Amino acid sequence: MILKSLSLINYKNFDSKSLDLNEKINCIVGNNGIGKTNILDAIYHLSFGKSYFNPVATQNIKHGEDFFVINGEYIKNEKPEKVVVSLKRGQKKVIKRNGKPYDKFSEHIGFLPLVIISPADRDLIVEGSDVRRKFIDSVISQSDKTYLSNLLNYNKILAQRNALLKYFALNHTFNPDTIAVYNDQLTQYGTVVFEKRQQFLETFTPIFKTRYKTISNGNEKIGLVYNSHLFEDHLKSLLKQQINKDKALQYTSVGIHKDDLSFNIEGHPIKKFGSQGQQKSFLVALKLAQFDFIKAQSGVNPILLLDDIFDKLDEHRVAQIIKLVGEDSFGQIFISDTHAERTENTVKQAHQSYEVFKL
């Protein structure tokens, strides 16, 4: 799959920008604050219908303007595909494929597989469990529509159960029969999601460990550990056991929405015991393993976005990564950096066709 051309109108800091792209390596270079990352984010937007960096949709419209449009022309399975994402203030975002709008955004997820590696990924290590859950969910969802459907249904029922708990507290009442209906539905959807996450990590972890070893040239023992309440008991039983606590808190305290992923190095949390280089290598390995997994599931080479790849990595590790992604097993790659010369010298080592865009 190749992104042939990209055009932006009123997107972030760009009033208008068009790029004809190289089918292998594209380097976006320029000073800080000039919009390199915004170009990569626009490409991400075309795959996921949202920004990687700013979840507030209207904040991606250029200051002082009323709308934005992102237009991507692709070749997928030897067929041209045109995807347009647009948003006008006060209206709903629209995603169109070949001129036809999607009824549900979820139908688009996975159509244009993509992996991004960015300094913002450090949130996976330092932030709360919701960031790591989103990572697992985004990887599985790109190749499994049933998983995404179960997850969306679970979250919808969860919001309804939480609203009911608040209603009970406000009105000093309680109806066990109504709660039981929500418990059944949460169990139905949540159990499927839990089992899929387990299966995913069994497949994903060995791929991740192999990638880490290659990037770091190290022998550190690293691991991913899946933590879930559902290892303790069946979800229906857990929801019954915690009902008094849930009534007091006015929200649901157990379930797959509390799952987490522990990142370990030598048996200890990498957040506390990993150096900056080890943490960065860990995150890059995680994302390259994501690439491998999605490619194996979908049969398509995902687009790979490398945002500010030199951040906190020595040149040896960067060269290792560029050498890796220069292999034919990878498809189209986008790299952003502040130093045009450094980028070009590194990219030349991949012995692939490339284009440098100076902003």
Q: What is the pLDDT of residue 135?
A: 94
Residue 344 corresponds to which amino acid?
E
Q: Which residues contact 92 (CB under 8 A, 6 or more apart)?
A: none
Please name which of 49, 54, 46 lies closest in space to residue 13, comparing C-alpha atoms.
54
Please name which of 196, 222, 201, 200 lies closest in space to residue 211, comparing C-alpha atoms.
222
Residue 359 corresponds to which amino acid?
L
- Distance (Å, rounded) from C-alpha 181 to C-alpha 157? 10
Q: What is the pLDDT of residue 313?
A: 65
Residue 245 corresponds to which amino acid?
K
> What are 26's two structure tokens?
């594209």
> What are 300's two structure tokens?
């398509």
Domain contains 118: no
Residue 230 corresponds to which amino acid?
L
Residues 216 and 277 in one domain: yes
Q: What is the pLDDT of residue 150?
A: 96
Residues 312 and 340 in one domain: yes
The CATH number covering residue 287 comes to: 1.20.1050.90
The CATH number covering residue 45 comes to: 3.40.50.300
Residues 93 and 137 in one domain: no
Domain contains 35: yes
pTM score above 0.85: yes
Phi then psi dihedrals of residue 44, to 5 deg? -60, -45
Q: What is the pLDDT of residues 294-317, one digit of tens each?
A: 999 989 999 999 998 776 666 666
Residue where a domain stops, chosen among 279, 296, 313: 296
Which residues of the chain register pLDDT less than 70?
Answer: 311-317
Phi then psi dihedrals of residue 70, to 5 deg? -120, 130
Please give the tally of structural domains in the chain: 2
Q: What is the pLDDT of residue 352?
A: 85
Looking up tokens 């209603």 gives: 167
Domain that holds residue 249: 128-296
- Distance (Å, rounded) from C-alpha 165 to C-alpha 254? 14
Residues 166 and 258 in one domain: yes
- Distance (Å, rounded) from C-alpha 193 to C-alpha 115? 22
Looking up tokens 């169109």 gives: 96
Q: What is the pLDDT of residue 312?
A: 60
Domain contains 119: no
Residues 286 and 304 in one domain: no
- Distance (Å, rounded) from C-alpha 297 to C-alpha 293? 6
Please, what is the Cα angle at 258 between 252 and 259, to 5 degrees?
A: 150
Domain contains 120: no
